[in-house]
Structure 1
Amino acid sequence: MQTASTNIGDRMGRSQELSDSKRGPVIGGHLCNKSIRDISWLLNIPRSTVSGIITKWKQLGTTATQPPSGRPCHMTERGQCMLKRTACRNRQLSAESIAKDLQTWCGLQI
């Protein structure tokens, strides 16, 4: 009989992502009417992770990792942020020097 490890070092860390090979058995256990606690114990995964996988599967129909939400970073937006940051940090800079920095940093023609 295999027992679950209680050593904290053996459990999944916060920064690690659960592999597809462990997400499948979570859904399989859920479809076999196993409790979240039982699935967590059998696979040695935190209960919150098991619950999150099941919730995601119910809502999206998949357990695959989704791309992050939020505004994508475009070159012009980066240039605008860089321009604003440079101008606010050193108000003594001339427009020519800021334009030169912007050209070298973003590749934008001004």
Structure 2
Amino acid sequence: MQTASTNICERMGRSQELSDSKRGTVIGCHLCNKCIRDISLLLNIPRSTISGIITKWKQLGTTATQPPSGRPHKIKEWSQRMLKRTVHRSCQLSAESIAKDF
């Protein structure tokens, strides 16, 4: 027998997010004084997700997804080395032709 939590996890996976309408529905239910357990059962969403949405809404005033914090990822070392080799081997090539190779 599957519970509501496992059912939603199988459907969504970890990388997918809830739609804006679902998050809005969670906040609407919260404003109507429904408890997290009732919202979870009603919408078939895990309680931890419901709690996270409500907490985020209380702190930021929005349920929209925010960009990730922190420094952007660097270009991989191997691609930097490849670019250096290409430029050193063919100094006469234009930047456009080098960009096409990558």
Q: TM-score range by the shorter chain?
A: 0.5 to 0.7
Give the TM-score normalised by the residue count of structure 1: 0.60
Partner residue, 1:78:
75
* Count of matched residue positions in the alignment of Structure 1 and Structure 2: 92
- Cα 1:14–1:79 change in 2 (3 A) is closer
Counterpart for residue 35 of structure 2: 35
The alignment's TM-score, normalised by the length of structure 2, stands at 0.65
| Bigger Rg, structure 1 or 2 | 1
Q: Which residue of 2 aligns with 1:89?
A: none
Match of 2:61 in 1: 61
Asked if structure 2 preserves the Cα contact closer than 8 Å seen for 1:11 and 1:44, the reply is no
CA RMSD of aligned residues (A): 3.7
Which blocks of at least 5 consecutive residues in structure 2 are unaligned? none
Q: Displacement of 1:8 after TM fit?
A: 2.1
Q: CA deviation at 1:60?
A: 0.5
Measured in 2, the distance between the counterparts of 1:41 and 1:11 equals 16
Change over 3 Å in CA distance of 1:42–1:69 after alignment to 2: same
Per-residue deviation, 1:59: 0.8
Supply the distance in 1 between the matched residues of 2:48 and 2:60 (Cα, whole angstroms): 18
Structure 1 runs not aligned, ≥5 long: 87-92, 106-110
- Kindly tell me: are residues 63 and 24 of structure 1, through their superposed partners in 2, closer, same or farther at Cα, counting changes over 3 Å? same
| CA gap 1:29/1:79 in 2 versus in 1, 3 angstroms | closer
**Residue 80 of structure 1: how far off its partner (Å):** 6.8
C-alpha distance in 1 between matches for 2:65 and 2:40: 20
Q: Is the 1:29–1:39 Cα contact (8 Å) retained in structure 2?
A: yes
Equivalents in 2 of 1:71, 1:13: separation in Å? Answer: 26
Deviation of 1:48 (Å): 0.9
